[in-house]
Amino acid sequence: MAILFNQNTKVFTLQTKNSAYQMKMIDYGVLIHLYYGKRLEDCDLSYLIQRSDRGFCGNPYEMQHDRTFSLDYFPQEYSCFGIGDYRSDAVRVINGDGSNAVDYRFSSYRIEPGKYRLEGMPSMYGEEGETLVITMKDQSTGMELELYYGVFEQDDVITRAARIVNGTGDKVYVDRAMSLCLDFMRADLDWIHFYGKHAMEREFERSPLQHGRQAIGSVRGASSHQHNPFVILCGKETGEDWGECWGISLVYSGGFYAEAEVDQFNQTRLIMGISPDNFLWQLEPGEAFQTPECLMIYTDKGLTQLSHQYHRAVFNHIIRGKWKEEPRPVLINNWEATYFQFTGDKLLSIAREAKELGIDMLVLDDGWFGKRNSDNSGLGDWQVNEKKLGGSLRELAEKINGMGLKFGLWFEPEMISEDSILYAKHPDWAIRIPGRPANIGRSQLVLDFSREEVVDGIQEMVFSVLDEANIEYVKWDFNRSITNLYSSALPPERQGEVAHRYVLGLYRFLENFVNRYPNILLEGCSGGGGRFDLGMLYYSPQIWCSDDTDAVERLKIQYGTSFGYPISAVGSHVSACPNHQTFRKTPFETRATVAMAGSFGYELDLNALTPEEKEAVKRQVKEYKAHYQLIQRGDYYRLTSPYGKCRAAAWSFVSPDRRECLFCAVITQLQANPDGVIVKLKGLNPQGRYRLEGTEEIYSGSALMYGGVLLPIPREEYESYRYYFKEEEQPEA
Ligand code: DGJ
């Protein structure tokens, strides 16, 4: 049993293999949080709370003259607004009488085998999970709350979600409903989060928590390039290989909020959930609001271990379908090769070359439909431009298939161009506030996916294209942030629901998609990684990591991404030189070294390559395929930080049995009269004897890990190295 409830102490303890989470029902049903950390057995940690009379910390009415009990001091399991806890609140409502307070007290609990699922929203799956549901009630109003906990014991994962039920006789508004509130009786913590912008996502930032509130989030209608819905709290001394850390991510693709507050008594609270901006959900009596899910992982073994656990948890319990296990195709995408300027013949010439070089699939990106020869028009018209393709899509796919290549296609289903047939027919399908000009982004408007008929209409068009030809991959793009939020289908008092209803509409479409086309490999995209989150990964096992294909900038982007997302999730391509985003020149081989740390492909005109480069492509594809399992399923080690002093960015993949290791490094700074760059490997068998592929050189695991690898003196800027080590069979004793 991973979920314990002690009837005497009224303590709930959730146990995983290496972690534990504890809360307790105390006086008058108040549910306090006691612990999340290293595994402990059934105990009662409430002795750690010092009861004393603290000035300006009020007390629940029932306590009368006992001033030692304050909601403003005790760590809370799910903090409520308006009843004396002045710290960050997880839930806030507008009651029928206009008041804001809600005071949830313990009512009942149930423990169930299997992990709960959320209807209409992505959530972690897995038979082996267990569920705890705690029901709370506000005695004054009748408002109810269900706190959901999912426990995956072996994977060290605990999930949380909340459901707010209107148990009153009045209409109530939910003003804020976080998925999680997590209190710590300490403040000596750092927080790590991943910020960015278009074409430079998920940059790593670590800072000490300060008194007061620090927050990240998105009000863009998508999880965004600017902040990722994944944060880590960790001890000051925590590094890659040691120390306590807590990873918390939201399984959600819309606007989100994460806030850490250090209070007056040097305690910390983290809340995370749907962005409370632009949010107000109306509940009629008996109705409920379900929050998305949060995933939490704790380890005392440092950030590398945290990432390994995240990679495993996401792979085992988020990623679904055929392409979870099946080797993903190495693809060539025509976007950076042609942009909108292509013909059917041009695509076929790229496909022909791709086949020669060992590539598996041609992906036709933007520009194949409607009036779409630039990004000013055509979105919403999901009809094939046969004139441009020189025939039907089926014919094109057949020709490509005939060459022995798979065929994939780009869509941007959530958008509409004003210059389109769809817009002429359904101008009201676009999100806009009546009487106010709508902001445009990339010259396009966003479709109102909170409306069922809009989702159904687009779905019908998309599905009919997919039914027309043998399409084995789809790239699902989303190229602007949402603004002017309003839905003509909802009354004024429900406009605060549009943002979340949009996400629910998107999830409904995606669920229909994966059910109807289980064989299609879906790749998520939002101008690169603007919606790189666990919500999207539930439907699309890989996501185009960034529109920045510059190998050197990708070092940071992929480094940041690796903290919370598995390597298989990272769409990554070799592109042309000079790079189209930065104009930087990097060696061809370096672009492959970086792109191989993901789901690999190419995005350039293969016909324009030199014979040497074509030979290199052949070798690279072969090498990637040979190491596919190691890269996709091995343990990923960040060996140096691209933000650090080391003149090389380095990482490695180690097989679960520790017998194989692929070491990769890119020189990031040149130096005259250079000192040696030594990188220490990790995760090997210290006693093992590892042969460096292509040589007779043998090193012990301990030499590689404690001594390290000496990089050669680089002969050009951004030189890179890929060393494959394999353990020799041990001679019989
Ligand atoms: C943004 C994507 O990230 C690119 O890869 C490409 O698909 C363009 N959109 C097409 O408009």
Residue 155 is predicted with a pLDDT of 97
Inter-CA distances, 424 with 241, 367, 373, 381, Å: 58, 20, 19, 11
Helix ranges (DSSP H) in 318-378:
322-325, 335-338, 344-357
Q: What average pLDDT score do residues 648-673 get? A: 98
Contact 77, 31 (CB under 8 A): yes
* Nearest Cα residue to 591 out of 679, 720, 723: 720
What percent of the chain has a predicted confidence (pLDDT) above 90? 99
Is 335 a pocket residue for ligand 1 (Cβ < 6 Å)? yes
Residue 161 is predicted with a pLDDT of 99
Average pLDDT, the chain: 98
Q: What is the DSSP letter of 260?
A: E
Q: 207: pLDDT confidence band, cut at 50, 70 and 90?
A: very high
413 Cα: distance to centroid of ligand 1 (angstroms)? 13
Is 530 a pocket residue for ligand 1 (Cβ < 6 Å)? no
613 annotated active-site: yes
* Nearest Cα residue to 494 out of 450, 438, 432: 450
Q: What average pLDDT score do residues 6-14 get? A: 98
Q: 465: pLDDT confidence band, cut at 50, 70 and 90?
A: very high
Tell me which of 364, 479, 536, 545 to substitute to probe ligand 1's pocket, judged by most ligand atoms within 8 Å of the beta carbon.
479
Please give the single-letter amino acid code of residue 575: S
412 Cα: distance to centroid of ligand 1 (angstroms)? 9
* Tens digit of each residue's pLDDT (9 = 90 or more) over 145-180: 999 999 999 999 999 999 999 999 999 999 999 999
Contact 526, 477 (CB under 8 A): yes
Dihedrals phi, psi of 261, to nearest 5 degrees: -125, 130
Contact 148, 131 (CB under 8 A): yes
533 annotated active-site: yes
Residue 49 in this model has a pLDDT that exceeds 90:
yes
Taking CA atoms only, the protein residue closest to ligand 1 atom 10 is 366
338 Cα: distance to centroid of ligand 1 (angstroms)? 12
Place of tokens 């950390």: 37
Tell me the three-class secondary structure of 207-247, residue by residue: EECCEEEEEEECCCCCCCCCECCEEEEEECCCCCCCECEEE
Residue 674 is predicted with a pLDDT of 95
Q: Which of ligand 1's atoms lies nearest the C-alpha of 547?
A: 3
Q: What average pLDDT score do residues 230-253 get? A: 98
Is 571 a pocket residue for ligand 1 (Cβ < 6 Å)? no
3-class SS of residue 52: coil
- Bridging pattern class, strands 157-165 and 293-299: antiparallel
Q: Which two tokens stand for residue 218?
A: 């998105």
Is 410 a pocket residue for ligand 1 (Cβ < 6 Å)? yes
Catalytic-role residue among 144, 259, 419, 533: 533
Is 525 a pocket residue for ligand 1 (Cβ < 6 Å)? yes
Q: What average pLDDT score do residues 103-115 get? A: 98
Is 379 a pocket residue for ligand 1 (Cβ < 6 Å)? no
Is 544 a pocket residue for ligand 1 (Cβ < 6 Å)? yes
633 Cα: distance to centroid of ligand 1 (angstroms)? 28
Residue 377 is predicted with a pLDDT of 98
Q: Which two tokens stand for residue 321?
A: 């379908």
Q: What average pLDDT score do residues 330-349 get? A: 98
Residue 120 is predicted with a pLDDT of 98
The predicted model scores a pTM of 0.98
Is 548 a pocket residue for ligand 1 (Cβ < 6 Å)? no
Is 369 a pocket residue for ligand 1 (Cβ < 6 Å)? no
Taking CA atoms only, the protein residue closest to ligand 1 atom 9 is 527
710 Cα: distance to centroid of ligand 1 (angstroms)? 39
Q: How far apart are CA 324 and CA 41, in angstroms?
A: 35
Contact 216, 236 (CB under 8 A): no
Contacts (Cβ under 8 Å, ≥6 apart) of 694:
none
Tell me which of 198, 332, 335, 481 to substitute to probe ligand 1's pocket, judged by most ligand atoms within 8 Å of the beta carbon.
335
Residue 1 is predicted with a pLDDT of 76
* Tens digit of each residue's pLDDT (9 = 90 or more) over 79-91: 999 999 999 999 9
Q: How far apart are CA 74 and CA 104, in angstroms?
A: 15
Q: How far apart are CA 18 and CA 16, in angstroms?
A: 5
Q: 703: pLDDT confidence band, cut at 50, 70 and 90?
A: very high
Is 532 a pocket residue for ligand 1 (Cβ < 6 Å)? no
Residue 730 is predicted with a pLDDT of 75
Q: What average pLDDT score do residues 460-469 get? A: 98
Catalytic-role residue among 613, 660, 719, 727: 613
Contacts (Cβ under 8 Å, ≥6 apart) of 303:
192, 232, 234, 238, 239, 240, 243, 245, 563, 638
Q: How far apart are CA 46 and CA 13, in angstroms?
A: 12
Q: What average pLDDT score do residues 56-71 get? A: 95
Residue 733 is predicted with a pLDDT of 63
Inter-CA distances, 379 with 292, 375, 523, 678, 710, Å: 30, 8, 19, 51, 52
Q: How far apart are CA 230 and CA 533, in angstroms?
A: 8
451 Cα: distance to centroid of ligand 1 (angstroms)? 26
Please give the single-letter amino acid code of residue 623: E
Taking CA atoms only, the protein residue closest to ligand 1 atom 1 is 527
417 Cα: distance to centroid of ligand 1 (angstroms)? 16
Residue 732 in this model has a pLDDT that exceeds 80:
no
Q: 203-207 contacts: CB < 8 A, separation 24 or more?
A: 203/556, 203/557, 203/560, 204/556, 204/559, 204/560, 204/563, 204/641, 204/643
Q: What average pLDDT score do residues 357-368 get? A: 98
What's the start-to-end Cα distance of the chain, in Å?
A: 42
Residue 247 is predicted with a pLDDT of 98
Contact 232, 306 (CB under 8 A): yes
